[in-house]
Chain A
C-alpha cells in the first residue's frame, strides 16, 4: 500500500443555489480542485452523493459528472453512504491510489437539496434511516436526534440551553468563512428562543438544508511534492458501522461507529486524540457534536456539553472544532459535507484558513456521520509542506 496525499482542493460556496444545477455545482468544485492541483485530467472520478435520485430525478452521477468535466472515457462512479457519502468517496479514491490501481484521482461530494419543497426534502433525508421500522412511524432525521438528545439530557442532567456553545462556536468561526452559508454569529438568547422542530431539537440545534459541492485531488505521497507545494498526507482513513436503526443499538448514546472508526484511525496514524490540533466533527445536530466528542475520546460519557461550556472547543481551546463553521454554519449539503470537512482541514494544514487559522496546525481529524450513526468515516490528515 502506498501513502496518499491530497494535492488539490476545490469548493463551491454553500447556499440555496436556485440558479445552479446539480451538475454545475459538481463541475465548479471539480474544476477548482483540478486547477489547484495544476491538472487537466485524472484517471478516476468518485462522486459522493446521497439524494440526487430523489431530489433532482438524476442518478448515475459518475457518468454525468465526468462527462461535464470534459473527461468522458475516464473511470467514474457514484458512492453512497447517506450523509457520509462525501468521506466515502474520498476513501474510495484513497484506496484506488493506495492500491496502485490509479495515480491521480478526483474525489468529490455534491448535493442539491433545494429543488424539492421542505417536507419532500425531509422525507428524502429520512431514507438514511430504517424505512420499515423507523420512517414508517413518522420519524424524521430530526426526530431521531431529538430522541437521542432527550435521553442524553435525562441521563446526564443537562438542559437544552447547555448545548448552545456548540452553535455559538460554529457560527463565530463560520462568520469568517466566505464559503459558509451563514456568515453571522448566533447568541445564547437566539439559540434558546429558536422554535422546536422535534423536541428537544430546535431550529438552531440543526444544520440547514442547502446545496454545495467540494472536491479533492489525490496522488501518491511519493511524488506529491513534485505536483503541489503543500501536499497534505492522509495519515488515516477508517470506516465503521453500527445498526442502522437507533432502536437496534445496545447503547444508543454510545455512537459506537464513531468510537470504532476513530480508534482505527488513531492506530493507523499512531497518535492519541491529544496529538490532534483540530477536529472537524459532524455537528449536523448539537447532540451529534456532543456524542462525537465523547466517542472519539475527548470527553467522558455525558461530559462533552461541559467541554463546550468550559470553552474547550473554541479556536484557542483544548480541541478546536468546526473551525470554519462546521455543518451548522458552513451548511450541510449532505453528500458533499464529508468533502467540505476535508477541504477545510487542508486549508488549516496549509495555513490558508484566514481569520480562523490555527497557529502551527499540523495534524487534523475529520469525521463524517452517515444517518443517525450507522456509517461513520474518520480521516486524519497531516501537513507535509
Chain B
C-alpha cells in the first residue's frame, strides 16, 4: 500500500509546520485543516500555524506494527492535546515507552516517519518529545 510522492508533498504544510486553520466566526483553532469549523459549522479557511506544544492525553506502545513500520517497533503513539485545543495523533520520540505518562508536556519535532515503497521514499513529519528542561 505505497502512497505516492505527491501525497506527501501535498501534506507538507501540516507535516512539517502544523499548519491548521482558525475560525473567524467562533475563534476555534482547527487541525487538521478542514475548511468547515467543527465547533460552529461555519466556513473557516484562515490559515493558522499551531505552536506544537501540548500534553499527552493518552498513549499506546505498538508491538505489532502494520506493513511499513515493522522495523520501528516498539514505538509509542499518543493523542496529544495541543495547547490551542485540537488533538493530534502522533508518535512520541526521545522517551522510553515506560516513561510516558498521561498529562506529560510535549513539543513537536520533525523526524523521519518511515521509508516507503520499492523506491525507498523517506517521509518526514511531526513527532512529539517531552518538553526539555530549560536552564
Contacts and interface: CB of A to CB of B under 8 A. Distances in A.
Contacts of B67: 119-120, 122-123
Interface string A249-262: 00010000000000
Interface string A146-167: 1111110010000000000000
A132 B66 contact: no
B125 A143 contact: no
Nearest to A145: B60
B64 interface: yes
Contact of A150 (B59, B66, B69): B59
B83 interface: no
Contacts, number: 114
Interface string A104-135: 00000000000000111011101100111111
B96 interface: no
A151 B58 contact: yes
Interface stretch (A85-93, A197-205, A294-302, A346-354): A197-205
A138 B61 contact: no
Contact of A134 (B57, B61, B89): B89
Interface stretch (A178-186, A220-228, A239-247, A313-321): A239-247
Contact of B77 (A131, A132, A138): A138
Given A137-B77, A198-B60, A123 B89 contact: no
Interface residues of A, number: 42
A247 B64 contact: no
Interface in B105-135: 113-114, 123, 125
Nearest to B32: A133
Contacts of B87: 247-248, 252
B70 interface: yes
A142 interface: yes
Chain A contact residues, majority secondary structure: helix
A139 B58 CA distance: 13
Contact of A119 (B38, B70, B97): B70
A136 B69 CA distance: 10
Of A122, A123, A137, A195, chain B has the most CB atoms within 10 Å of the CB of A137
A39 interface: no
Contacts of A131: 3
A196 interface: yes
A124 B78 CA distance: 21
B77 A139 contact: yes
B89 A198 contact: no
A198 B62 contact: yes
A135 B66 CA distance: 9
In this complex, the interface size class of chain B, counting residues with CB under 8 Å from chain A, is: 35 or more
Nearest to B58: A151
Nearest to B7: A132
A54 interface: yes
A140 interface: yes
A42 B70 CA distance: 46
B72 A196 contact: no
B64 A197 contact: yes
A298 B23 CA distance: 38
Interface string B72-105: 1001011100000011111100000100001000
Interface string B39-79: 00000000000000000011111111111111010010111
A248 B91 contact: no
A183 B11 CA distance: 47
Contacts of A140: 62, 64-66
Interface string A7-42: 000000000000000000000000000000000000
Given A123-B1, A252-B79, A150 B102 contact: yes
A122 B64 contact: yes
Interface string A315-330: 0000000000000000
Contact of B79 (A127, A147, A196, A199): A147
9 contacts: A122-B66, A123-B67, A132-B7, A137-B89, A147-B58, A195-B63, A201-B60, A247-B86, A252-B79
Interface of A: 54, 118-120, 122-124, 126-127, 130-140, 142-143, 146-151, 154, 195-201, 243, 245-248, 252
Q: Return the 5 tightest CB-CB contacts between A and B, nearest first.
A: A146-B60, A151-B58, A123-B66, A247-B87, A123-B67
